[in-house]
């Protein structure tokens, strides 16, 4: 559909006339330790609200991590000065064109672009009266197995969490590792595997915490555990070394920090460096880009995992709609921060976790209810773009 035909069909009422940006510091319940550093006290995220002439609104979230993707400050600036001005006057139903224009205007900043893509999906769904997964191709699976990560520096605290999660139906656990001496790490892993039980799927994630030179010596000790996968043992830029390591291990390798884009995936497949990839909308630039990655991974014979950053229900919802509409994602998803990690969310109702699954709704748009009073009243910074 050409621009003129689209504008004639939907009229001026669907035109995006206003955008708002909010920065929040979100307190967390406990310290989380990773191979790449601790997350403690709180996380700083950026939120986008789009408004159409008809009054419909759409929400999105950028959840950066400075050691991984970027900063809240950079995302706020990118949204305010470059990306949101590019979409004003456009329509949510022409999102692919708007997203392509953003890529031409600004390199990088995938979290900011993910926030806008999510908000466009939400806005289009509100205007059409349809869930966001309809705009992504329809429903493939609305019950997504939930994976919860274990990253407390105190192993007893994580054992208590595992017992709670088991009672609530969770059967997938990912152990964050790479921050202890290797012999102590093996003891911790054994304790958490025993706590999870034989009926759980357990995997480990080093978050790039190992040096390449002795990764093989350490990781061969993990083969006896029967983990579902080992995630990103060392820095993502060392793909050739990851391919060599994969040849010496029985446990499958999952690439996370190594794969942000389709070109990253192409190189990973060419080197036979991984058995699976983690797809995060904050890495690739949004749900639409994530769905493309998943399709390409499936075509290459790789499994996929629905990862996340330190997100609220807004970004969780966008990622969940992406997975709901996409074949693959056979390793589950980790949209647990809203339920188990944040002190409180910015949504006025609990996120959709029940009986160990994320239950994706069929409400219009992302299906979320943002507490706008808190969003505005508790923001560290905000701006209006119109």
Q: Following DSSP, what letter does each residue of 203-214 receive, concatenated?
A: EEE-TT-S-GGG
Q: Which residue has the higher pLDDT, 40 or 290?
A: 290
**Residue 273 is assigned to a structural domain of this protein:** yes
User: What is the average per-residue pLDDT within 218-231?
Assistant: 97
Structural domain boundaries enclosing 229: 135-359
Cα(133)–Cα(203) distance, integer angstroms = 28
User: Which residue from 386, 375, 340, 385 is spatially nearest to 22, judged by alpha carbons?
Assistant: 375
pLDDT in tens, 88-103: 999 999 999 999 999 9
CATH code at 112? 3.30.390.10
Tell me the whole-structure pTM to 2 decimals: 0.94
Do 106 and 169 fall within a single domain? no
* Residue in the structure block whose two tokens are 């790479």: 178
Do 182 and 284 fall within a single domain? yes
Do 85 and 143 fall within a single domain? no
pLDDT in tens, 77-130: 999 999 999 999 999 999 999 999 999 999 999 999 999 999 999 999 999 999
* DSSP letter, residue 46: E
How much is the pLDDT for 1?
45
Do 116 and 148 fall within a single domain? no
Q: What value does the mean pLDDT of the chain take?
A: 95
Cβ atoms of 248 and 233 within 8 Å: the answer is no
Here the tokens at position 174 are: 């990912």
Do 20 and 90 fall within a single domain? yes
**Residue 13 is assigned to a structural domain of this protein:** yes
Cβ atoms of 13 and 376 within 8 Å: the answer is no
CATH code at 257? 3.20.20.120
Q: How many domains does the chain have?
A: 2
Report the alpha-carbon angle 271-286-147, nearest 5.
75
Here the tokens at position 220 are: 């061969």
Do 204 and 315 fall within a single domain? yes
Do 88 and 145 fall within a single domain? no
């Amino acid at each position: 559909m050409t621009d003129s035909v689209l504008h004639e069909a939907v009229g001026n009422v669907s035109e995006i006339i206003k955008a708002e940006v909010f920065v929040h510091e979100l307190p967390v319940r406990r310290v989380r330790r990773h191979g790449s550093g601790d997350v403690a006290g709180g996380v700083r995220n950026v939120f986008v609200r789009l408004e159409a002439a008809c009054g419909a609104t759409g929400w999105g979230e950028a959840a950066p991590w400075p050691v991984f993707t970027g900063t809240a400050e950079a995302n706020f600036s990118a949204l305010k000065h470059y990306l949101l001005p590019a979409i004003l006057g456009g329509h949510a139903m022409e999102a692919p064109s708007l997203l392509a224009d953003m890529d031409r205007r600004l390199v990088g900043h995938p979290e900011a672009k993910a926030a806008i893509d999510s908000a466009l999906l939400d806005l289009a769904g509100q205007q059409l009266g349809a869930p966001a997964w309809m705009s992504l191709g329809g429903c493939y699976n609305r019950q997504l197995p939930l994976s919860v990560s274990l990253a407390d520096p105190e192993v007893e605290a994580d054992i208590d969490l595992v017992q709670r999660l088991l009672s609530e139906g969770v059967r997938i656990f990912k152990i964050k590792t790479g921050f202890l001496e290797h012999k102590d790490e093996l003891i911790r892993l054994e304790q958490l595997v025993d706590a999870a039980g034989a009926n759980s799927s357990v995997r480990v994630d080093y978050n790039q915490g190992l040096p390449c030179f002795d990764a093989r010596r350490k990781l061969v000790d993990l083969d006896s555990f029967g983990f579902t996968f080992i995630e990103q043992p060392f820095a993502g830029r060392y793909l050739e070394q990851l391919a060599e390591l994969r040849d010496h291990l029985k446990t499958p390798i999952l690439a996370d920090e190594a794969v942000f884009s389709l070109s990253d995936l192409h190189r990973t497949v060419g080197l036979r460096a991984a058995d699976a990839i983690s797809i995060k909308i904050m890495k690739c630039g949004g749900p639409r880009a994530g769905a493309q990655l998943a399709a390409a991974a499936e075509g290459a014979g790789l499994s996929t995992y629905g990862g996340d950053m330190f997100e609220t229900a807004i970004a969780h919802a966008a990622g969940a709609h992406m997975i709901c509409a996409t074949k693959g994602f056979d390793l589950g998803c980790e949209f647990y921060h809203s339920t188990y990690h944040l002190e409180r969310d910015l949504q006025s109702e609990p996120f959709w976790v029940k009986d160990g699954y994320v239950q994706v709704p069929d409400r219009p748009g992302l299906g979320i209810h943002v507490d706008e009073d808190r969003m505005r009243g508790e923001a560290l910074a905000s701006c209006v773009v119109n």
